[in-house]
Amino acid sequence: GENVEQHPSTLSVQEGDSAVIKCTYSDSASNYFPWYKQELGKGPQLIIDIRSNVGEKKDQRIAVTLNKTAKHFSLHITETQPEDSAVYFCAASMAGFQKLVFGTGTRLLVSP
Amino acid sequence: GAGVSQSPSNKVTEKGKDVELRCDPISGHTALYWYRQSLGQGLEFLIYFQGNSAPDKSGLPSDRFSAERTGGSVSTLTIQRTQQEDSAVYLCASSLSAGGGEQYFGPGTRLTVT
């Protein structure tokens, strides 16, 4: 089955810096890659996603890149703000399968 | 509009008791998913529904776990004879259709088995 690895497990940055979180997946059949932000005591919130027919997608300060050959994808947050502090999860799913396979999460701390 | 709702938000139960967790998906979403998140861990898939059918139950950890969905809407996850290792946050998500991509999560139910 699919396996998703996520790095780093924790990331501390200063406000205004950029943050990058990386994930790798094992099954080349995976074709949908969402990113979720989870704040303390809340459910995960979808912040951006990408499909395998696209190499990059941007939404304001957030971007995701996908390298199908290397089977890895990354989340980029620019001009970080304290409210970006949360746990971020990547996930992958395969065509025809409905479940998401999640990475183990990255705790991002943005210091003022 | 209203998002995915779950109840109760917290549940403390004694080992050996049965519990029921409820999920109300976003109106019009035909697919519904259950995941489990243990302390400090990622999310683990349990089961998903398309309408009232459960095509994939592969993530249910044991036969003590079961789920049903009625009327294509509300779903209930039941854990029988709870064990301490069942303690976790149980998350429900819904999507417009199975394979439709975006899954939207509820706030979860925190289950503690004492």
Q: Is A83 helix (H, G, I), strand (E, B) or coil?
A: helix
Inter-residue contact B6 to B109 (CB < 8 Å):
yes
Q: What is the pLDDT of residue B64?
A: 97
Interface of B with A (CB under 8 A): 4, 31, 33, 35, 41-45, 48, 50, 55-56, 58-59, 91, 98-99, 101-108
Q: Which residue has the tokens 């701390």?
A: A109
Is the pLDDT confidence value at B1 over 60?
A: no
From chain B, the residues in CB contact with A107 under 8 A are none
Q: What is the pLDDT of residue A54?
A: 79
Q: What is the pLDDT of residue A98?
A: 76
For A18-97, list the strands marked E by DSSP: 19-25, 30-38, 45-51, 56-59, 62-67, 72-77, 86-94
pLDDT mean values, one per 10 residues, chain A (112 residues): 94 98 94 94 93 89 95 97 97 79 96 94
Burial group, residue B84, by CB count within 10 angstroms (0-12, 13-18, 19+)? exposed
What tens digit of pLDDT does each residue of B24-81 get? Answer: 999 999 999 999 999 877 899 999 999 999 988 889 999 999 999 988 899 999 999 9
Q: What mean pLDDT is predicted for residues B11-35?
A: 96
Is the pLDDT confidence value at B99 over 60?
A: yes
Q: Which residue of B has its CA nearest to A98?
A: B99
CA distance A30 to A100: 10
CA distance A56 to A50: 7
In DSSP terms, which residues pair with B35 in a beta bridge? B45, B91
Q: Which residue has the higher pLDDT, B100 or B108?
A: B108
Q: What is the pLDDT of residue A102?
A: 95
From chain B, the residues in CB contact with A59 under 8 A are none
Q: Which residue has the tokens 């439709």?
A: B100
Q: What is the pLDDT of residue A66?
A: 95
How far lies B5's CA from each of A14, A52, B53, B94, B103, in Å? Answer: 35, 31, 20, 10, 14
> Is A104's CB within 8 Å of B41's CB?
yes
> Is B98's CB within 8 Å of A101's CB?
no
